[in-house]
Amino acid sequence: MLRAAIAEFTAKGLAGARMDAIARAAGVAKGLLFHHFGSKEGLWSAALEQVYRMLRAGQDEAALLRLGPVEGMRRLVVETFRLFRERPEIVALMNEENLHRARHLRANPEIRALYNPLFAAIEALLARGREEGIFRAEVDPVALYVALSGLGYFYCSNRWTLSAAFAGDLFEPERISSYEDLIGDMVVAYLLRRPERATDEGRGTPVAAESRDGKKAAGS
């Protein structure tokens, strides 16, 4: 029943979805839907919870922790993007729920609780990165997840408009692979600790940073 509901809600949204169509697709009497979920909005809430469970099932906290701080964070970015890409129903139902200002989501405390293990893993990776001297000291794990999730979410939610307006087919395999590298590098670059710049002891001014070829950086 939930699979049928998710498919109908993905195609038509909450207002356009029909309980008759969901019942037919599920091979059950419509009354059974009302028996289990109470109403179409009750079924919507259950379907919404299910897509969040799909998302969280694809984010393996134990695997992230085994990879260590840098590769663990990179994997989280790429896996989250892959989940949005491969499960468009997640993006569709999230978009629809935002139109309702998360009214159903706020009424379901179980969805919020789904994220507790993930944020514990993110905090553990950040702590290990700080202990190893490679991550910056102050990182808000919630803001970090919002940012890294958004990098994948926007690419998928706006796939058609971006492709039509200027980008071409964003879902070409080569472009997907290149974008995964890009967003992984972006998040890791933000997290890496910036070494303190040495100063000229005589003048108290920063010493010029050297570029990769050993030359002084321009403007130093």
**Rounded Cα gap, residues 14 and 34, in angstroms:** 16
Handedness of CA 14, 18, 19, 24 (dihedral sign): negative
What are the extents of the domains in the chain? 50-191
Instruction: Give how far Cα 132 sits from Cα of 78, 128, 129, Å.
Output: 23, 6, 5
Q: How open is the CA angle 26-31-34, to the nearest 5 degrees? A: 90
Please say whether the beta carbons of 98 and 52 come within 8 A. Answer: no
In single-letter form, the type of residue at position 77 comes to V
pLDDT digits (tens, 9 = 90+) for 95-136: 999 999 999 999 999 999 999 999 999 999 999 999 999 999
Instruction: Give how far Cα 216 sits from Cα of 16, 44, 210, 212, Å.
Output: 62, 60, 5, 9
50-191: which CATH architecture? Orthogonal Bundle (1.10)
Mean pLDDT of 200-214: 40
Instruction: State CA 155 to chain mean position distance.
Output: 11
- Whole-prediction pTM: 0.85
